[in-house]
Amino acid sequence: MALADDILTSTAAAEYEKDIVPFTRVIQELQQPIDTVLESEQGAMEANIRAQEQAARLQNRYGIQLTPAERQQQAKLAQISGQSNIGGAMNFARRRDEETNLQRLSVLSDIYSSERAGALGALGTIAGLATQRKNAYERARASSASQHYGFLGSLGGKVGSLLGSLI
């Protein structure tokens, strides 16, 4: 029976290796949290610069001359708009990253649950075999004792009948 336990244990371990090893890289990737806030901030800053450059080109193209007060107001509005764009981009990135990280965590949880269920099933089977082996041992031991006492009883009976016939 010990051989059967060893075979089952090695088979369960081999199946676990077969199932989990291909996912090792994926699991490692899923464990790394996603953080795109800095990238989104950089992208929004670059978009603001492009928008300001485009506004300057259009003003030059159409010959628009701004007074110093208008330029100051335009710069102020550009700054407010730019900060709003950057803040919005960073907030959206945080929300998107949080959703992505929660999805990744869910996938890791699913992988863990399925592997755990398989491992617990194999452990249950191995425990069942150990119980069967113990029960078989106890039955064999009881049977041996019964045979031993039965032999001694029959031997005692024959000795008794032999002694009884002699007296």
Q: Is the pTM of this model over 0.85?
A: no
Residues 6+ apart with CB under 8 A from 107: 30
Annotated domain spans of the chain = 2-166
> Tell me, what amino acid is at 123?
L
Section 47-55 average pLDDT: 94
Q: What is the mean pLDDT of the chain?
A: 83
Per-residue pLDDT at 94? 95
The helix, strand and coil proportions of the chain, stated in percent and rounded to the nearest 5, come to 90, 0, 10
Q: Give the number of residues written for the chain.
A: 167
Task: Quote the tokens at residue 41.
Answer: 């901030």
- Residues 98-137: pLDDT tens digits? 999 999 888 888 877 877 777 677 777 777 777 888 888 8
Per-residue pLDDT at 126? 76
